[in-house]
Structure 1
Amino acid sequence: MKNPFQPFLEQQGFVVLDGAMATELEAMGADLNDPLWSAKVLVEDPELIREVHLNYLTAGADVLSTATYQATYRGFARRGIDREAAENLFVESVRLAAAARAQFWMEERHNIASRNFPLIAASLGPYGAYLADGSEYHGNYGLSRSELEDWHRPQVETLAALEEVDLLLFETIPSLLEAEAIIDLMGNFPDRPYGLSFSCKNGRAVSHGETFMEALALASGVSQIAAVGINCTAPEFIGPLLETIKGEGSRPLMVYPNSGEVWNAGAHCWEDPENKQGIADHLSDWYHSGARIIGGCCRTTPADIARIRGNLQPLVKPL
């Protein structure tokens, strides 16, 4: 299967992901105090999402993630949105990313001869994101592998059918059990590449407790997986996690940690820990430890993405 990241790796030696959607929407005045989180804006003010996408492309992102991380058919139904209307919202999320990409490429293509045509990744959060209770940071759902597969299926069926989508991106997966359910499900869509990214609780283990090495081994044998990695994790854990798997695996490695703040699920807010470290403090080490697909997760901004691109370029010898 053709890996959608490969042309970027061959031409520039890295791939820059985008950053947080919710952070930018809140900066624009959106109220995200809702179980749908940033997907709420798909319903209320979708053009804000297109603007955020455009800002990330201008900052240097090679990949746009759709505003669907917390969008699910069950979640929409809980808000009184019927199946047909929910499907239209998924389609709209991809249209917004495609519109931003088309505008960026039309306006900037003469100034960015070194850039490849950006990718659209359909963002799919874990079951815990639907619960909106912080359980994506432990994964103790009480569901079986088949139940998790059934839960993910409706969103995957809709997004995998849209031709503008270059890959699906399963994010903040806390456990091997949920990863196994996703791999089982994606076997029904053999022509669709996807990324698999885990939330991790320390420098060795994913949030549920299995080692990151075990997660990497699970993903490495699956040809559909375009990249495997870590997201929504404190920056100081990324280097040690990469060290635990150095030289292992057959898929490109991606890392897109949060800004260094910690989510307090009880208070529903972000908190600054002592000695907070940011992405820029570690970027060179991550690259030299094998990460080639790098971006930001919660609380990161277009300015962070611009710094990532600028700091990666002098490190790289293209393949």
Structure 2
Amino acid sequence: MTTLVLDGGLSTHLEALGADLRDELWSARLLLEDPGLIRRVHADYFAAGADVATTASYQASIPGFQRRGLSLSQAERLIARSVELAVQARDEAGGGLVAASVGPYGAYLANGAEYTGDYDLDEDGLFAWHLPRWEILAAAGADLLACETIPSLVEARALARLLAATPEVKAWVSFSCRDAGHLNDGTPVAEAAAVFAGDPRVVAVGANCTAPRHMPGLIAGLSGGLPVVVYPNSGETWDAEHRRWLGLADPVEFGQAAKEWRQAGASLIGGCCRTTPEHITQIRAHLS
């Protein structure tokens, strides 16, 4: 089975390089202020052994940029730039894929709703909210879209409708999960994945921004249908009250776990929050 190694935490490496991301736009702010640093992060992940660069569009949205005072055309340009930066790094590395990040509605809310699925929009509202950014990313030159950190069944259904409306697009869909069997809104992961069953444009379904210990159970619940994508957090926990990460995560142990995830059935493997180029180096080493 061919395994693709994904990149690690974009914002984590940006912060390690000195970026201050204490902002509701998070890493998307650097699309405006320091795009060269984003390109460097993509390059570092390719150098660490990643096959795929995930763009800095997770937190980027037209209403989010407009809330900051940018015009519609400026917001659209920044979203497209996220793909251009990853493509530049990919080409400089001599190969690889670019996955345009489609972050959840909760990322725009900037209130942690991607970890609960507690939204104020229904399926129609989510479809309408995602559509403008979706169209920009679909036309920007990425190899596929990465629909990631999706916490709820209703948002999964909205994304399935977007895929149906853009037949030329390929995507993976990755859920944020509260345990080894359920999305953060409580939906069984197999039920959420079934929304995309039979769609040839969906290259994988899986989980991200979820504790590593839940990956074996989630892979077991997803295996047998579409290919499985997993890129969990480092294993640390977020202290929302004090806005800090607690605990430690060892890259070597993460790489060893990645080998187990592949043996369990995952074929796209990387890292999410708090993972670094060293984590990706260890994944590559253990999967080689």
Please indicate the TM-score interval, normalised by the length of the shorter structure: over 0.9
Q: CA deviation at 1:236?
A: 0.4
Distance 1:245 1:46 in 2: 36
One-letter code of the match for 2:60? Answer: A
What are the equivalent positions in structure 2 for 1:52-67 lying under 5 Å apart? 52-67=41-56
Which of 282, 294, 299 is residue 257 of structure 2 equivalent to?
282
SS of alignment partner, residue 220 of structure 1: coil
When normalised by structure 2's length, the TM-score is 0.95
Which of 240, 250, 255 is residue 230 of structure 2 equivalent to?
255
Which of 297, 301, 315 is residue 272 of structure 2 equivalent to?
297
Sort the Cα spacing of 1:279 and 1:219 in 2 relative to 1 into closer, same or farther, 3 A: farther
SS of alignment partner, residue 120 of structure 1: strand
Q: CA deviation at 1:265?
A: 3.2
Partner residue in 2 for 1:184: 161
| Gapped regions of structure 2 (runs ≥ 5) | none
Partner residue in 2 for 1:144: 122
Aligned residues of 1:257 and 1:279 also touching (Cα < 8 A): no
| Per-residue CA distance 1:203-261 (angstroms, 9 max, x = gap) | 11111101111122222222211111100000001112222344x31x21110001001
Aligned residues of 2:58 and 2:103 also touching (Cα < 8 A): yes
> How many residues were matched structurally?
288
One-letter code of the match for 1:288? Answer: Q
One-letter code of the match for 1:141? Answer: Y
Partner residue in 2 for 1:123: 101
SS of alignment partner, residue 199 of structure 2: coil
Partner residue in 1 for 2:201: 224
Which of 311, 314, 318 is residue 286 of structure 2 equivalent to?
311
Sort the Cα spacing of 1:22 and 1:274 in 2 relative to 1 into closer, same or farther, 3 A: closer
Distance 1:47 1:273 in 2: 29
Partner residue in 2 for 1:175: 152
Partner residue in 1 for 2:14: 25
The alignment yields a C-alpha RMSD, in angstroms, of 1.8
One-letter code of the match for 2:51? Answer: D
Sort the Cα spacing of 1:274 and 1:227 in 2 relative to 1 into closer, same or farther, 3 A: closer
Q: Which of 145-154 and 212-221 deviates more?
A: 212-221
Q: CA deviation at 1:274?
A: 11
Partner residue in 2 for 1:42: 31
One-letter code of the match for 2:284? Answer: R
One-letter code of the match for 2:120? Answer: G
* Structure with bigger gyration radius: 1
